[in-house]
Amino acid sequence: MPDAARSADIAAARRAVADGDAVLAHVGPILEHLVATPDHSLFSDELVARIKGMCHHMAGQVLRAQAEATGEAGREAFAEKHGDALAAAFYRNPHILSHCHTLAMEWQLASRMEAQYGLDPALSPLLQDLIASEDSGVASAAMATLAAQARFAQTQRRMELPVSELPGDLFHEVLLAWRAHAGDRRSDAMIRAETKLRNAYDEASARLSLLARLVSGMGNEQAGALDLERSGVALFVTALAVRSSQSRDLAILSTHEGQSSRLALGLRAAGLTSEEVNAEVLRLHPNREVPVTIGRLSVADARTILAESRSSGIE
């Protein structure tokens, strides 16, 4: 491609990603407002309810641990009494809130793919093939991933989020938010409860770690996970994140209809051809057209533009 044409394509892609970044920059403050406002009838009730449910569920888990450590007879009553206040503290943490938001988006997309294509949220065709692999390591990892996906489906239907499923940095942030909420009221019993929670935590067995290891273990077959209808949402966004050097949360955000340019750029950065990029974007958003300029970009240029975007630091 001539240098002038390449420069024009890069500039056009940068403008498209910048437009998307401007939208994403407002996501955190809007979410904080929505979950803290009792009347959100003008917004997506289902999405807000799911995020609030996850925050309340996490609050209940740490409060029950606290009650047990203090010798409280009624753990459930204690968690119920203090749950709203602690959940509100989680609402004010942008990292916790953002992660809950992306999990809710992932589940919404998985539910939509099930309705449109009959794609099981837990067992996709690709995962089924990996379970049947002659490589015992791959088969074992795939079975563990299937079990984790089944748990994810169950907890999302109940609008819950086990703290054991959080990434390590967010697990730490949840406990820090709990500490800050307690303030001067932090007791020896709370310290014992936190120690017990930390000792029980095993990031390696969490769903996101299992998905990342499974995709990494696919080697040259990773590109196959970028076929959404075959891989399922969980493997698709994991492979997109790994191959385009983005965080998984940002990869999920890129599946939103308003972020189709970022999705196309991520798929190109992941090594898909222009035709394959078009097919995947249209599968998600039949009314969206992929900018021709993105399809003409090299893989290296697509990765550079993503790395330069303001949203590249989203974890």
Q: How confident is the model at residue 205 (pLDDT cuts 50, 70, 90)?
A: very high
For residue 121, give the nearest of 243, 1, 237 by alpha carbon: 237
Q: For a pLDDT cut of 70, what percent of the chain falls above it?
A: 89
Q: How confident is the model at residue 39 (pLDDT cuts 50, 70, 90)?
A: very low
Q: Is the pLDDT of residue 313 over 60?
A: no
Q: Which of 16-30, 268-282, 290-304 has the lowest mean pLDDT?
A: 16-30
Q: What is the pLDDT at residue 171? A: 97
Q: What is the mean pLDDT of residues 68-96?
A: 88
Q: What is the pLDDT at residue 114? A: 95
Q: What is the mean pLDDT of residues 64-75?
A: 84
Q: What is the pLDDT at residue 315? A: 55
Q: Is the pLDDT of residue 37 over 70?
A: no
Can you list the alpha helix ranges (DSSP code H) found in the chain? 3-24, 27-36, 45-70, 75-91, 94-117, 125-131, 136-157, 168-182, 188-200, 207-216, 228-231, 233-244, 248-253, 260-269, 274-284, 292-296, 299-308
Q: What is the mean pLDDT of residues 213-233?
A: 92
The residue type of 305 is I
Q: Which of 5-19, 27-41, 216-230 has the lowest mean pLDDT?
A: 27-41
Q: What is the pLDDT of residues 130-153, one digit of tens each?
A: 999 999 999 999 999 999 999 999
Decide: 272 and 280 in contact? Cβ < 8 Å: yes
What are the boundaries of each domain within the chain? 3-313
Q: Which of 81-85, 250-254, 294-298, 301-305 has the lowest mean pLDDT?
A: 294-298
The encoded tokens of residue 39 equal 């009347």
For residue 163, give the nearest of 103, 212, 121, 84 by alpha carbon: 103
Q: How confident is the model at residue 28 (pLDDT cuts 50, 70, 90)?
A: low
Q: What is the mean pLDDT of residues 92-112?
A: 93
Q: What is the pLDDT at residue 287? A: 84
Q: For a pLDDT cut of 90, what percent of the chain falls above it?
A: 63
Q: What is the mean pLDDT of residues 97-108?
A: 93
Q: What is the pLDDT at residue 230? A: 95
Q: Which of 191-200, 220-229, 288-297 has the lowest mean pLDDT?
A: 288-297
Contacts of 121 (CB under 8 A, 6+ apart): 107, 110, 111, 113, 114, 149, 152, 153, 232, 233, 234
Q: What is the pLDDT at residue 22? A: 67
For residue 315, give the nearest of 14, 24, 59, 60 by alpha carbon: 24
